[in-house]
């Protein structure tokens, strides 16, 4: 139906919005990670750090719009397209996957507690969102065939 197609398109746009919003943040971590190590414990007070902090704030706020938009669209898709008899099983599986991803993020925090290595979990998070965007794009492409 055209409503389903519009929801899928909206979800896809919002997911890629999130990716595009996070690219400056990931690029900043890659470009400035050595600079952060040079600044040491004084980095939060350094004037050189202010532009990066501003970029983090703007990038994360913008990416949240994409996240929330995608979440709304995919939740609506689930409610409209999943058969009532299957909804519990599918929603349970989805929630299990979400909780496993949360657990993975906590494990990354434990594995990389040093702020100088924060770029590693940040990059892994970005990579997982990018893979999700690619998979959802392939899903939409298959539906159009």
Neighbours of 51 (CB within 10 A): 11
**Alpha-carbon distance values, 118 to 34, 63, 78 (Å):** 12, 18, 34
How open is the CA angle 140-144-145, to the nearest 5 degrees?
A: 120
Q: What is the mean pLDDT of residues 54-62?
A: 90
Q: State how far the Cα of 7 lies from the Cα of 46, in Å rounded to an integer.
A: 45
Closest by alpha carbon to 2, among 85, 80, 83? 80
Q: State how far the Cα of 59 lies from the Cα of 66, in Å rounded to an integer.
A: 11
Note the pLDDT of residue 93.
93
Q: Pick the more confident residue, 51 or 127.
A: 127
**Of the spans 10-14, 85-89, 141-145, which averages the highest pLDDT?**
10-14
Note the pLDDT of residue 2.
85
Q: Is a pLDDT exceeding 60 seen at residue 43? A: no
pLDDT tens for 59-96 read 999 999 999 999 999 999 988 888 989 989 998 999 99
């Amino acid at each position: 139906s055209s409503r389903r197609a519009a929801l899928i398109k909206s979800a896809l746009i919002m997911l890629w919005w999130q990716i595009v919003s996070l690219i400056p943040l990931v690029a900043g971590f890659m470009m400035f990670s050595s600079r952060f190590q040079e600044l040491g414990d004084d980095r939060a007070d350094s004037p050189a750090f202010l532009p990066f902090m501003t970029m983090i704030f703007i990038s994360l706020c913008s990416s949240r719009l994409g996240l929330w938009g995608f979440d709304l669209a995919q939740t609506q898709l689930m409610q409209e397209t999943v058969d009532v008899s299957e909804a519990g099983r599918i929603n349970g599986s989805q929630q299990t996957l979400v909780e496993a991803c949360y657990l993975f993020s906590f494990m990354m925090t434990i594995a990389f507690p040093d702020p100088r290595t924060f770029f590693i979990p940040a990059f892994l998070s970005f990579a997982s969102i990018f893979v999700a965007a690619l998979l959802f794009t392939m899903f939409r492409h298959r539906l159009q065939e």
